[in-house]
Amino acid sequence: MFEILRSSPLTSIQDQGRSSYRHMGVCLAGALDPMASQQANLAVGNAASAAVIEVTFEALQLHSLVDTLIAISGNDFSASMTAGKDQIAQIPVYPGFAHLLKAGSTLVLERPSTAGGRAYIAFAGGIDVPIVMGSRSTDINGGFGGHKGQSLSAGSKLSTLQPSTRQLTLMESLQDSGQHRSKTGIRSIQASRTLRALDGAEAELISPTIRQRFWQEHWRIDPSSNRMGFRLKGKASTLAPYPSLLSSGVLPGDVQLPSDGQPIILGNDAQTTGGYARVAHVIEADRWQLAQLPPNSLIRFTRVSLEEALAAKEQLAQYWQRLALWQTQ
């Protein structure tokens, strides 16, 4: 059991997201950076599907009432913790390592090293909130899932599921040896500013000139971007009279081109249907990076084939297999 002492309105509980309800208008939700959330889970020995805290943009502080194992991944927030009740010394919490957070301790995520980037905190066993429509993720717009359908705020009380025997053994060994953290950790991956993308579903409805400009332009991530979508601004506005289209299902990663010519990359919380022409679709292996790029970053798109997209996904799957293997050794 732990209590949030300080949070920001965009910090929430997420897991791998909510699937198979898009025909009811229910968005994916889930960790915006699944790489980092999975790394944090792996570092404490959780399943990849365990619910974590997605810390967005601002500081977070929590107080643990029990001994637990935590790991932080993603954006570095200069985290630290105290070593139990009435202790004031701050012990650094390194990204990617499992740490023993003792009962009565405070965990502080001070400030993001990269503005706009997100951090993920995993707890041994995973955060225990009810499964709603197959997921523990918070659907902020729908107001359900996660912690009472809302973002976390000071006073929110949360608990974790029962840690595994392995996790309890690691906690005990840290306890006995007086260590604060595991010997090995998982290195964070640097986000790239070039996103690989497939041709969009309505690319052929867009004039070749505008399409070409889309693939060449350096796009700036607008600060108004959020979990619903990343708004991009280009140097030259590419106003074009697109026909209004019949609504169809859309997916996270779709790059819509509204009539003002400023693309929007749909995020995990985007609505499930849309009527704008899609010029591209950011491949799954590259999408996580959007969660970590600071506002006003310049990004570019590289056009790839379906085969290349699947090969990139396969490569990622192999990375996880290697990590999981290392973890069980």
9 or 243: CB nearest other proteins: 243
Q: Is 249 helix (H, G, I), strand (E, B) or coil?
A: strand
Instruction: Compute the least distance from the CB of residue 289 to other proteins, in Å.
Output: 16
Instruction: Compute the least distance from the CB of residue 58 to other proteins, in Å.
Output: 24
Q: What is the C-alpha separation between 6 and 230, in angstroms, rounded?
A: 27
Longest dimension (CA), the chain: 69
51 or 201: CB nearest other proteins: 201
Q: Which two tokens stand for residue 323?
A: 């990590």
Q: Specify the residue for token string 């999981």.
A: 324
19 or 179: CB nearest other proteins: 19
Instruction: Compute the least distance from the CB of residue 143 to other proteins, in Å.
Output: 7
Q: What string of H, E and C letters represents the secondary structure of 4-45?
A: EEECCCCCEEECCCCCCCHHHCCCCCCCCCHHHHHHHHHHHC
Instruction: Compute the least distance from the CB of residue 134 to other proteins, in Å.
Output: 10
How many degrees, rounded to 5, is the angle at CA 261 between CA 259 and CA 264? 95
DSSP class of 64: E
Number of Cβ within 10 Å of residue 189's Cβ equals 16
All residues at 6 or more sequence positions from 308 whose CB lies less than 8 Å from its CB, including other chains: 196, 283
125 or 267: CB nearest other proteins: 267
β-bridge partners, 199:
280
Instruction: Compute the least distance from the CB of residue 202 to other proteins, in Å.
Output: 6
Q: What is the C-alpha separation between 99 and 61, in angstroms, rounded?
A: 16
Helix axes 306-328, 34-44, angle to 10 degrees: 20
Instruction: Compute the least distance from the CB of residue 284 to other proteins, in Å.
Output: 6
H/E run at residue 233 = strand 229-233
260 or 314: CB nearest other proteins: 314
Instruction: Compute the least distance from the CB of residue 275 to other proteins, in Å.
Output: 9
152 or 280: CB nearest other proteins: 280
Left, alpha or beta for 140 (phi > 0: left; psi -120 to 50: alpha)? alpha
Closest CA to 264 of 277, 247, 273: 277
All residues at 6 or more sequence positions from 258 whose CB lies less than 8 Å from its CB, including other chains: 242, 264, 276
96 or 229: CB nearest other proteins: 229
DSSP class of 122: E
Instruction: Compute the least distance from the CB of residue 318 to other proteins, in Å.
Output: 9
Q: What is the C-alpha separation between 278 and 264, in angstroms, rounded?
A: 9
Residues interacting with other proteins, by CB under 8 A? 19-27, 132-133, 139, 141-145, 198, 201-202, 205, 243-251, 253-254, 271-274, 277, 281, 283-284, 305-307, 309-311, 313-314, 316-317
101 or 198: CB nearest other proteins: 198
Instruction: Compute the least distance from the CB of residue 142 to other proteins, in Å.
Output: 5
107 or 140: CB nearest other proteins: 140
